Structure formats: structure tokens, C-alpha cells
Amino acid sequence: MVSNLNFCLDAMRVKYQIYADRYDEFYGKLVRPKLVDFLADERKRHRK
């Protein structure tokens, strides 16, 4: 599971040409908020 996550994170870093040392900032400001919103929406959808 962890290797799949690392693979996906590396793929995003390469696709968007983000330096490895700047990836934490990219993840914290862009990716994480979108993931949080997505998970919240999915929980709401499953409750209906």
C-alpha cells in the first residue's frame, strides 16, 4: 500500500515538474485540501 502511494506521489511530482525539495509545499497547499474536500464529499454521498 505504501509503495503504491509513493508511486502516485512521485508520478504527480514528475507530471507537474515539482522539485523534490518543494513537494511538501505543493502537497500541503494544493493536494491535501483537495483530498480533504473529496473525502468529505464522498462521506456525504455514502450517507444519502
> pTM of this prediction?
0.57
DSSP 8-state class, residue 48: -
1-5, 6-10, 38-42: which has the minimum mean pLDDT? 1-5
Sign of CA pseudo-dihedral 26, 30, 35, 40: positive
Q: With helix as H, strand as E and coil as C, how does 2-47 read?
A: HHHHHHHHHHHHHHCCCCHHHHHHHHHHHHHHHHHHHHHHHHHHHH
Q: Per the structure block, which three cell numbers stand in for 41?
A: 464529499
Per-residue model confidence as pLDDT tens digits over 10-48: 888 888 888 888 888 988 998 899 989 999 999 998 887
Q: Where are the domains of the chain?
A: 2-47
Q: Using the predicted structure, report yes or no on whether residue 6 has a pLDDT greater than 90.
A: no
Q: Does the structure show a pLDDT above 90 at 1?
A: no
9 CB neighbour count, 10 Å cutoff: 13
Distance CA 44, CA 7 (A): 29
